[in-house]
Amino acid sequence: MRTLQDLVRKNIWALKPYACARDEFKGEASVFLDANENPFGYPYNRYPDPRQTILKSKISRIKGVPAEQILLGNGSDEPIDLTIRIFCEPGIDNMVAIEPTYGMYRVAADINNVEYRPVNLDSKFDIDTDAIKAAVDSNTKVIWLCSPNNPTGNDLSRDRILDILNWFDGIVVLDEAYIDFAGRESWLKELDKFPKLIILQTFSKAWGMASVRCGMAFASKEIISLYNNVKYPYNINLLTQTFVSERLKCIDEKEEWVASILAERSRMATELGKLSTVYEIYPSDANFLLVRVKDANATYRSLIERGVVVRNRNSVTLCGNCLRITIGTKEENETLIKELMVNKE
């Protein structure tokens, strides 16, 4: 059984992190001459809170996770990259992931020169636990799971996630970017039972703030403190911290958006099902539908010509002739259906 220290790269475990001015002095003061800031231009002249205390306390209340178990990043991309940099020795360690899944895990692995071992999902797009276990060896530091999964749209089964969590003694990252669209509880409630579980969520989807770039990682205090040591000190700027804090007050609006997207998702599944060129609509627990059509490349091109952009997933493993269609407004969705009806390819 590997301990957390066994899993962390030696240089990271030994790291003496950068001590920024805002970390060193934490009390109340009226004169700040410690950070070489400009005294004019308040509030943007000041470096932002490196630990995002106010924002995290609000997130903590909404998510039911203590603030010291939260990392905020520049989108989910940041915790994805940090996870690899903390745990994986380039050229030596490896990571195992479901396939197909979110493309950033592999890109971040490639950038860090860490071997990435994709393991195909089964015919129902669920985890093939035996194949995952067979791909793991003593240099496997991280397993990547994404549920609901992108681009397949489905939730992975709880029992199989649990099986992986109980079996693997390394880090399991569970990406819940689409959790608000899935009719189930988050795994956040079980974080304390699994000290090597990292859960990713984001403000980019249900909360409607993709442009703001704010992602969340939830994990044990020990893992969060490793993240804090490695991240850029001021990784979340003041504009983002205050804007997200304000938007968190509008949780009702977020829930209305989610309800509208879910209603449209089921309406779209019905409407798409009526088209002769649509062969299969996969079950979705997310804000998009994966749809298998007669000729994905041709449909993709003809939609583009009409100003409608969907994601062509034709070349993705297990997704031949599939398009990934984001659920938009009722009007946007109707435009898509109309254009698909014109295009009979």
Ligand X SMILES: *Cc1c(COP(=O)(O)O)cnc(C)c1O
175 binds ligand X (CB under 6 A): yes
**Distance between CA atoms of residues 53 and 190, nearest Å:** 24
C-alpha angle 343/100/104, rounded to 5°? 100
Q: Please identify which residue in 52, 140, 202, 241 interacts with ligand X, judged by CB under 6 A.
A: 202
**Distance between CA atoms of residues 52 and 67, nearest Å:** 10
210 binds ligand X (CB under 6 A): yes
State the pairing for strand pair 94-99/140-146. Answer: parallel
Q: Please identify which residue in 108, 146, 244, 281 interacts with ligand X, judged by CB under 6 A.
A: 146
Sheet bearing 288-293, strands edge to edge: 278-281, 288-293, 322-326, 311-312
* The two structure tokens encoding residue 128: 């093939």
Least Cβ distance, residue 30 to ligand X (angstroms): 37
**Among 108-116, 203-211, 259-267, 323-331, which window interacts with ligand X (CB under 6 A)?**
203-211
**Distance between CA atoms of residues 280 and 225, nearest Å:** 45
79 binds ligand X (CB under 6 A): no
Helix (H), strand (E) at residue 226: helix 221-230
204 binds ligand X (CB under 6 A): yes
Least Cβ distance, residue 344 to ligand X (angstroms): 31
Q: Please identify which residue in 7, 109, 136, 177 interacts with ligand X, judged by CB under 6 A.
A: 177
Between 8 and 310, CB nearer to ligand X: 310
* The two structure tokens encoding residue 254: 């977020």
x/- letters, 278..317, toward ligand X (CB under 6 A): ----------------------------------------
Q: Please identify which residue in 180, 215, 268, 293 interacts with ligand X, judged by CB under 6 A.
A: 215
**Among 11-19, 121-129, 164-172, 198-206, which window interacts with ligand X (CB under 6 A)?**
198-206
Between 175 and 271, CB nearer to ligand X: 175
Least Cβ distance, residue 92 to ligand X (angstroms): 26
Q: Which residue is nearest to ligand X (CB)?
A: 75
* The two structure tokens encoding residue 94: 């490896």
Least Cβ distance, residue 128 to ligand X (angstroms): 19
**Among 109-117, 199-207, 298-306, 328-336, which window interacts with ligand X (CB under 6 A)?**
199-207
**Among 72-80, 136-144, 241-249, 266-274, which window interacts with ligand X (CB under 6 A)?**
72-80
Between 175 and 285, CB nearer to ligand X: 175
Cβ contacts of 163 within 8 Å, gap of 6 or more: 129
Q: Please identify which residue in 8, 48, 100, 102 interacts with ligand X, judged by CB under 6 A.
A: 102
Please say whether the dihedral angle defined by the alpha carbons of residues 198, 155, 267 and 309, taken in this order, is positive or negative.
Answer: positive
Distances (CA, A) of 190 to 22, 24, 56, 158, 340: 33, 34, 19, 12, 43
Between 179 and 340, CB nearer to ligand X: 179
In this structure, how many other beta carbons lie within 10 angstroms of the beta carbon of residue 345? 13
**Distance between CA atoms of residues 316 and 151, nearest Å:** 9
Distances (CA, A) of 27 to 21, 23, 52, 106: 12, 10, 15, 42
**Among 5-13, 69-77, 137-145, 337-345, which window interacts with ligand X (CB under 6 A)?**
69-77
Residue 177 contacts residue 205 (beta carbons within 8 Å):
yes
Helix (H), strand (E) at residue 334: helix 330-342
Interacting residue ranges for ligand X, rule: CB under 6 A: 75-77, 102, 146, 150, 175, 177, 202, 204-205, 210, 215
